[in-house]
């Protein structure tokens, strides 16, 4: 009997600034226990500015419990810092986890279907 190892988790990201003081951070791949530390290192330092941060999760193929925990901690930190954090998500894999968390009594997370929608609301 042979046991094959799981492939290394993949997480990629990009950042752009569509306007003054607005940052869009796009994360793609799987956000789970293996990749949450990398995502945390990308996300949390960006919650120290003054402008809105749009977190584009539309490229995520999986959102695990560690990823959800990171999103909720980021939202809490953003609130404490007075920063608007806008999430963009449209995949069933991500929206279902956010829905289940809300049903379990976690604070609701608003997810915009498109970056343009989140930018319009952040302006």
**pLDDT tens per residue across span 66-105:** 999 999 999 999 999 999 999 999 999 999 999 999 999 8
Question: Residues 6 or more apart from 90 whose CB is under 8 A from it?
Answer: 58, 111, 113, 114
Q: Which residue has the tokens 């193929």?
A: 61
Task: Name the pLDDT band for 48 (thresholds 50, 70, 90).
Answer: confident
**Distance, CA of 79 to CA of 82 (rounded, Å):** 5
pTM of the model: 0.88
Question: Would strands 53-63 and 85-88 be described as parallel, antiparallel, or unpaired?
Answer: parallel
């Amino acid at each position: 009997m042979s046991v094959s190892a799981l492939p290394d988790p993949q997480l990629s990201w990009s950042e752009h600034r569509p306007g003054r003081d607005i940052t869009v951070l796009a994360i793609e791949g799987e956000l789970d226990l293996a990749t949450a530390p990398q995502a945390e290192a990308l996300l949390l330092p960006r919650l120290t500015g003054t402008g809105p941060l749009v977190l584009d999760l539309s490229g995520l193929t999986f959102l695990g419990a560690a990823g959800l925990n990171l999103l909720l901690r980021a939202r809490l930190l953003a609130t404490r810092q007075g920063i608007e954090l806008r999430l963009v998500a449209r995949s069933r894999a991500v929206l279902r986890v956010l829905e289940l968390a809300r049903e379990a009594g976690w604070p609701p997370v608003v997810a915009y279907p498109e970056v343009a929608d989140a930018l319009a609301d952040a302006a």
